[in-house]
Structure 1
Amino acid sequence: MVLEKTFYKMMLSKSFPFPVKVTYWDGKSKVYGNGNPGLEIVFNEKIPITDITRNASLALGEGYMDKKIEIKSTNGSDKQAIQKLILGAYQSADSFMRNSKFRKFMPKAKKHTEKQNQADIHSHYDIGNEFYKLWLDPTMTYSCAYFTNGNTDDLEAAQIAKVHHILKKLNPQKGKTFLDIGCGWGTLMLTAAKEYDLKVTGVTLSEQQYKLVNQKIKAMGLQDQAEVLLEDYRELKDRKFDYITSVGMFEHVGSENLSGYFADIAKYLNDNGIALIHGITRQQGGASNAWIDKYIFPGGYIPGLQEIVGDIVENNLQITDMETLRRHYQRTLEIWDKNFNAIRDKAQEMMGERFCRMWDLYLQACAASFESGNIDVIQYLLTKGPSGEKLPMTRSYMLTEK
């Protein structure tokens, strides 16, 4: 026990820039850092040292899911204790989050075949439409929102603003063709059809999303203007489009397929076509996370900024504009977590307690990661060939009312 506590002290004593109370499995507590701690970590059971040194993220994440670990505020009132604790770990240079001793083994890279991609997407997005309806906003948008008025926007307004922000960047002309790769539950593509008068095609590998988008198309009377395909984006073959969007998609294709992903975008664009690619990026370089890979996004990979830019230019696409929305995604995740915990009893009836602990950890950990700058989300506006007269000379057109 002395050896184990010595190891835990080594791991935790310098991992946070603020005092933290740690209560061990024998009921004894220790405060690491100077001052009154606002957060407490409770180890109900020992996590084996070998598991932590093999991969701290996976071992501690599973420990939280299995109630071997509790994270709470010392006064019991903080609903974002996980986010604050993980943010602190990112901010400390000596944290176990940054120490290579605690992240020796990363998840093995998967081959992102069409069959594997379908299985990975099914494991996350086909949990069930009813589950996502519980805590997403009415647009059913599961990506970063765009808060035009800071923290005063509600989530639905911010998601609608994001859709228009994306579409306005394309400077779309009525009657042109539009492809949305990874269309989700259809809000972006159907807004493009209904409000921008584009002829749209959406592509998804999620059966649940495919069914709901088809229902929306019929309900909105857009059968002659919109279609959704249940297939891999690589199966579009020789089809061409004037505009392409892809939101929260390239994180799923894998590092080995990134260049091919942008090659396909270039292939599907008409000459002088325009694409808006919105995705999570690490400015510090590409990375994966063993716990996220196992429980949240199997096969997921967050590419580095240099990697993305290299793949774009190597495929003869031109970068016309880039915009970072990191703080917007932090805010989005915080609202999602608040919404999720407001309906947690219902979610637990559907999915079980372990799943709900996992989901809460996922949302708060991601919010902390964006808040710390560990990850970012960037919109890349691309053209096939020089933008010429397809886009205005200045960015002001992106900010005008539709």
Structure 2
Amino acid sequence: MLFPAILKSIVRTGSVRLIDGAGKVHAYGDGTSPHCTIRLGARHLDYTLALNPELSIGQAYMDGLLTIEEGTLFDFLEIAAKNYRNFEQMAWFSLLSRIMRRLKQCNPLDRARRNVAHHYDLSGQLYDLFLDKDRQYSCAYFTSADDDLEAAQEHKKRHIASKLLLDRPDLKILDIGSGWGGLGLYLAEETGADVTGLTLSVEQHKVSQGRATAAGLADRVRFCLRDYRKELGQYDRVVSVGMFEHVGKGNYEEFFARLGDFLTPDGVALLHSIGYSDAPAPINPFIRKYIFPGADIPSLSEVFASVERAGLVVTDVEILRLHYADTLRHWRQRFMANRQRIAALYDERFCRMWEFYLVLCEIGFRFRSMMVFQMQLAKRADAVPLTRDYMANWEQAHRTMANSGVRAAE
């Protein structure tokens, strides 16, 4: 039986009891926490889980064929993460990994629209049940252990805005991957800027346009159902949050070339993206197949190489380490608290699929090499001040105004 043999080879830290497809019990690990017991609901899983475990374990959980009888799914995936290096050292996995690293995901226009629709055109009720009230579907920014999700997402918008050098009220800003409009509306309200947002999601476009109208900002905030490759305007500032993961490694150079086209000579851009802190690698196959088709995650070495070839200057980089792990913990807790309502929208299989996705991603940020980077870019080295003081000063000033209920653009 291959899967029990693999667990025996790799699980050295933590404690796993496996009840295989025939009902036989196996024990692995060193007896330390975390502890979990998993049961396989079919004999064929003893073999099929070994063929591509990064994909098939999630599939088995989603289909109800792999169940957790003691502990939690989080415990099981934490043990897997802590023993992952043992898995990487297995010869067949090492070969598969090298092959996958050579793949360069591309997202032509038609496929990009389909990929976005797969995830972002789901029921709005679903997102209301686990996101914050502004539907910020990207890494929050926790300035204190006491921050709740709502506060941390407000901090995130303010932190990003501070890096855009919003030094005058008439700036033209492009938001690539504008989601449900929260960041674009924030920038317009805080600074008086003219904002254009781009999205490929029909549902996000409808919601964001409605929000701009309801806020009385439709005269200077517009959201367009348009791929960034079709945009022709030029802007003082460009921001992109949580969209670069959908560009595809094969399109990185084109993305940064277009970013350069969008920027005025003294323009500033801010790219916020998930990344790997180690060598380039493919995205988890379960995430790519079931959650974000067409997605890929860059390492900084891949990003820097493409930026250099585009002739842009990196003026600042910040690595957000555990912020996304904490964001995902909040999302997972809200999702599980509303599980019955979500099952009524979809079904139990959908709930198990999304539970696996949320846990797997949190594990990746908490125990493995996933992180978030914020990269500031310009065409000229002197486009931003020599020190970062302007970021901290802007952020503090607008935090003070927010606490007093004042908008800077009023």
Same-fold status (TM-score > 0.5): yes
In 1, the alpha carbon distance for the partners of 2:89 and 2:116 equals 29
CA contact (8 A) 1:106 1:289 kept: no
Structure 1, unpaired ranges of 5+: 75-80
User: Are 1:264 and 2:258 matched, yes or no?
Assistant: yes
In 2, the alpha carbon distance for the partners of 1:117 and 1:218 equals 27
User: Are 1:60 and 2:57 matched, yes or no?
Assistant: yes
User: Are 1:231 and 2:222 matched, yes or no?
Assistant: no
Structure 1 residue 367: deviation in Å?
Answer: 0.3
Count of residue pairs the alignment pairs up: 389
Structure 1 residue 69: deviation in Å?
Answer: 0.5
Greater mean deviation of Cα atoms: 201-210 or 291-300: 291-300
What SS class does the counterpart of residue 22 from structure 2 fall into?
Answer: coil
What SS class does the counterpart of residue 180 from structure 2 fall into?
Answer: coil
CA contact (8 A) 1:89 1:97 kept: no
User: What percentage of residue pairs aligned between the two structures are identical?
Assistant: 34
Letter in 1 for 2:294: G
Matches within 5 A, 1:2-401: 4=1, 7-35=3-31, 38-48=35-45, 51-74=48-71, 81-92=72-83, 94-96=85-87, 99=90, 101-102=92-93, 104=96, 106=100, 111-149=106-144, 151-172=145-166, 173-237=168-232, 239-284=233-278, 285-388=280-383, 390-391=384-385, 393-395=387-389, 397-398=391-392, 399-401=395-397
In 1, the alpha carbon distance for the partners of 2:8 and 2:343 equals 31
Structure 1 residue 66: deviation in Å?
Answer: 0.9
In 1, the alpha carbon distance for the partners of 2:171 and 2:316 equals 22
Letter in 1 for 2:317: M
Letter in 1 for 2:182: T
CA contact (8 A) 2:4 2:26 kept: no
In 2, the alpha carbon distance for the partners of 1:343 and 1:93 equals 31
In 2, the alpha carbon distance for the partners of 1:309 and 1:59 equals 33
Aligned to 1:77: none
Structure 1 residue 93: deviation in Å?
Answer: 5.1
In 1, the alpha carbon distance for the partners of 2:241 and 2:91 equals 32
* Residues 326-371 of structure 1: per-residue CA shift (max 9 Å, x gap): 2000000011000000000010011111110000000000000011
* Residues 115-155 of structure 1: per-residue CA shift (max 9 Å, x gap): 00000000010012121111111010100000011x21010
Letter in 2 for 1:327: L
Aligned to 2:404: none
CA contact (8 A) 1:200 1:227 kept: yes
CA contact (8 A) 1:82 1:365 kept: no
Structure 1 residue 49: deviation in Å?
Answer: 5.7
In 2, the alpha carbon distance for the partners of 1:294 and 1:397 equals 39
Structure 1 residue 186: deviation in Å?
Answer: 0.8
CA contact (8 A) 2:14 2:32 kept: no
Structure 2, unpaired ranges of 5+: 399-410
> Are residues 14 and 195 of structure 1, via their aligned partners in 2, closer, same or farther at CA, if it must alter by over 3 Å?
same
In 2, the alpha carbon distance for the partners of 1:177 and 1:141 equals 22
CA contact (8 A) 1:11 1:96 kept: no
What SS class does the counterpart of residue 245 from structure 1 fall into?
Answer: strand
CA contact (8 A) 2:16 2:38 kept: yes
In 1, the alpha carbon distance for the partners of 2:91 and 2:323 equals 30
Structure 1 residue 195: deviation in Å?
Answer: 1.2
> Are residues 159 and 340 of structure 1, via their aligned partners in 2, closer, same or farther at CA, if it must alter by over 3 Å?
same
What SS class does the counterpart of residue 152 from structure 1 fall into?
Answer: coil
In 2, the alpha carbon distance for the partners of 1:221 and 1:155 equals 26
Letter in 2 for 1:22: L
In 2, the alpha carbon distance for the partners of 1:160 and 1:94 equals 37
* Residues 284-317 of structure 1: per-residue CA shift (max 9 Å, x gap): 2132222111101101111111000111122111
Letter in 2 for 1:175: D
What SS class does the counterpart of residue 400 from structure 1 fall into?
Answer: helix
Structure 1 residue 318: deviation in Å?
Answer: 1.0
Greater mean deviation of Cα atoms: 253-262 or 92-101: 92-101
> Are residues 166 and 94 of structure 1, via their aligned partners in 2, closer, same or farther at CA, if it must alter by over 3 Å?
closer
Aligned to 1:78: none
In 2, the alpha carbon distance for the partners of 1:274 and 1:332 equals 27
What SS class does the counterpart of residue 223 from structure 2 fall into?
Answer: strand
TM-score by length of 2: 0.90
In 1, the alpha carbon distance for the partners of 2:322 and 2:27 equals 32
CA contact (8 A) 1:56 1:96 kept: no
* Residues 51-78 of structure 1: per-residue CA shift (max 9 Å, x gap): 334311111111111111013544xxxx
In 2, the alpha carbon distance for the partners of 1:277 and 1:346 equals 35
In 2, the alpha carbon distance for the partners of 1:196 and 1:247 equals 19
Structure 1 residue 110: deviation in Å?
Answer: 5.0
Structure 1 residue 36: deviation in Å?
Answer: 6.3
Letter in 1 for 2:352: R
In 2, the alpha carbon distance for the partners of 1:48 and 1:84 equals 20
